[in-house]
Amino acid sequence: SAVISQKPSRDICQRGTSLTIQCQVDSQVTMMFWYRQQPGQSLTLIATANQGSEATYESGFVIDKFPISRPNLTFSTLTVSNMSPEDSSIYLCSVAPGGAGETQYFGPGTRLLVL
């Protein structure tokens, strides 16, 4: 398994601003993921962030809006840029220590409210 922390745990932001969310893992993992969970909805994958390569974004998500950094095997950031109220959501990072297709472990999430 893996222990994951996220910062901030929650934030309230003004539209047009940007927020960077940090994800820290207690062990080195290659595969890290960023998800969004909108109110009352299930999880939607934003992107896969593997160390040493550019993030791979899912349909509907673009790098200009959600830039991701993965400087090492224990850390990643997701930035939500030029925010609008529609970006209000929970953002979760996860890791798959066993590799592709194996169990994912999730961070506690970052609750974002955009006014």
Partner 1 sequence: RKEVEQDPGPFNVPEGATVAFNCTYSNSASQSFFWYRQDCRKEPKLLMSVYSSGNEDGRFTAQLNRASQYISLLIRDSKLSDSATYLCVVNDYGQNFVFGPGTRLSVLP
Residues that bind partner 1 (CB under 8 A): 33, 41-45, 48, 58, 92, 100-109
> What is the secondary structure of 53-111 as a DSSP string?
S--EEPTT--TTTS-EEEEETTEEEEEE-S--GGG-EEEEEEE-TT-TTS--EE---EE
Nearer to partner 1, 73 or 90 (CB): 90
What does the radius of gyration of the chain's CA atoms come to, in whole angstroms?
A: 13
Structure tokens at 92: 């979760």
Residue 28 vs 56, nearer CB to partner 1:
56
Least Cβ distance, residue 76 to partner 1 (angstroms): 16
Contact predicate 21/6, CB 8 Å: yes
Q: By C-beta, is 74 or 107 nearer to partner 1?
A: 107
Q: What's the min distance (Å) between Cβ of 75 and partner 1?
A: 18
Q: Could you tell me which of 83, 110, 106 has the C-alpha nearest to residue 96?
A: 106
Smallest distance, partner 1 to C-beta of residue 16, A: 27
CB 45, min distance to partner 1, A: 5
Closest CB to partner 1 among residues 56, 82: 56
